[in-house]
Amino acid sequence: MDDATPATRPGKGLARSPGALAGLKVIDLTRVLGGPYCTMILSDHGAEVIKVEPPQGDEVRDWGPPFLEGDASYFIGINRNKQSLALDLGKPEGRAVLLRLLEGADVLVENFKPGSMERWGLGYEADLAPRFPGLIHCRVSGFGADGPLGGLPGYDAILQAMTGLMSANGDASTGPMRLGTAIVDMGTGLYSAVGILMALHERARSGRGQFLDMALYDCGLALLHPQAANYFLSGKRPVGTGNPHPNLVPYDKFPTRTCEIFIASGNNGQFRRMCEMIGLPHLPDDPRFADNGTRNVNRDALTAALRAAFAELDGHEVALRLIRGGVPAGPVLWTDEATGAPHTAHREMVTELGEYRGLGTPIKLSRTPGGTRASPPRFGEHGADILARHGYTAEEIARLRDDGVVLTRRRT
């Protein structure tokens, strides 16, 4: 992986600088989604991320179809810019290799069940902090290590259910519904990246690392807005309202002659402008719709009037006209439409390098822009190179492979 010249290769959304995190060394023991999403954010901006995979590989390599050269799109989407080393941490020799990798490392990210690292003699307080005092150790778990649910495994859909997020989705006819994206896993990845950067900033002052306890449970609850805020103030249990907003009207999806659009009117001025632009200038003067409070009470009548008006219009045209006129509106697009939109290309939010295509980084830095440097790695692709950089001889590497400590093929 060559950080100096990625933008000289053909592609889209490629890194044009070493990155804001160039020089940062991250050892990534995570699998599935939350942890890998966190480390991809870091790698997009120049961090050296060594992805240490178990002998069976990261299981999301199998979460397809579709596949590219045996790896599922699920894996491909969150593992670019990383180097893969396959290592059996169940063997003492494997743990010795990990300790060698941690020499000079800034960050360790793992999502083992709490207690696993401690059983291996790799716990933060007792083992790693004394040996690597500047190391930042980020643990991602389902519920944390203690408390009524401490130590239990965490899964996105289960955490959506247990943190109230499902209750905020769906409506009275469906009941609570799972969000289509893995919002808890990805939110935890984002929060973890933020926490790591906070710890790095503090380390610049103190010279000391620290332990980050990141739980999917906590991160799921932290995303429960405004439902939790509404409950704390009113004491009433929020229920799913589907597309409509629980506090604002009109804030909903409407069918048009050509496509569905979403309107998110947040104040009286926006409501009046919208009505004027869709041929209903009298509507804001109706006492039932004079302000957001009365519109909320008379939600059904207002929705019926708006649906009738929008049904006659071209959705793409009216949505663009509304948002240019200061009214929040947009067409409801499918994945292929959103990723193929002209503005998506303009913002470099689809990145390409060879056969690899993925979503680009949304973090746009002016002097140190991030981006794609390397395609997602094959299983164990960089093992020999990583070990050689950490002082292992060719004979030692061959012995580690012969002993099943380092692997080049997935163990079944």
DSSP assignment of 243-266 = SS-SS-SSEEEEE-SSSEEEEE--
Where exactly are the structural domains of the chain?
A: 6-223+345-407, 260-331
Distance set, CA 22 to CA 19, 25, 26, 369 (Å): 5, 9, 11, 11
Task: Considering only the C-alpha atoms of the chain, give the largest distance between any 2 of them, rounded to a whole number of Å.
Answer: 84
Is 171 among the catalytic positions?
no
Edge-to-edge strand order for the sheet containing 107-110? Answer: 211-215, 136-141, 107-110, 25-28, 48-53, 82-87, 406-407
CATH of 260-331, one of 3.30.1540.10, 2.160.10.10, 3.30.540.10, 3.30.70.3340: 3.30.1540.10
Backbone angles phi, psi at 154, to 5 degrees: -120, 135
Contact call for residues 287 and 234 (beta carbons, < 8 A): no
Helices 315-324 and 268-277: angle between axes, nearest 10 degrees? 140
Number of other residues whose CB lies within 10 A of the CB of residue 335? 7
Number of other residues whose CB lies within 10 A of the CB of residue 337? 12
The catalytic position among 28, 44, 185, 252 is 185
DSSP type of residue 149: T
Residue with tokens 């901006």: 45
In the beta sheet, which residues pair with residue 330? 262
The pLDDT score that the predictor gives to residue 2 is 41
Distance set, CA 164 to CA 141, 150, 161, 173 (Å): 18, 19, 6, 18
Which CATH architecture group holds 6-223+345-407? 3-Layer(aba) Sandwich (3.40)
Contact call for residues 228 and 164 (beta carbons, < 8 A): yes
The span from the CA of 326 to the CA of 315, in Å, is: 16
The span from the CA of 310 to the CA of 324, in Å, is: 17
Provide the token pair at 70. Answer: 């045996």
Q: How does pLDDT run along the chain (412 residues), one tens digit per residue?
A: 344 445 556 789 999 999 999 999 999 999 999 999 999 999 999 999 999 999 999 999 999 999 999 999 999 999 999 999 999 999 999 999 999 999 999 999 999 999 999 999 999 999 999 999 999 999 999 999 999 999 999 999 999 999 999 999 999 899 999 999 999 999 999 999 999 999 999 999 999 999 999 999 999 999 999 999 999 999 999 988 889 888 899 999 999 999 999 999 989 999 999 999 999 999 999 999 999 999 999 999 999 999 999 999 999 999 999 999 999 999 999 999 999 999 999 999 999 999 999 999 999 999 999 999 999 999 999 999 999 999 999 999 999 999 999 999 999 8
The pLDDT score that the predictor gives to residue 297 is 96
The candidate with the shortest Cα–Cα distance to 111, out of 57, 13, 196, 36, is 36
Contact call for residues 81 and 54 (beta carbons, < 8 A): no
The span from the CA of 183 to the CA of 206, in Å, is: 34
The span from the CA of 307 to the CA of 300, in Å, is: 10
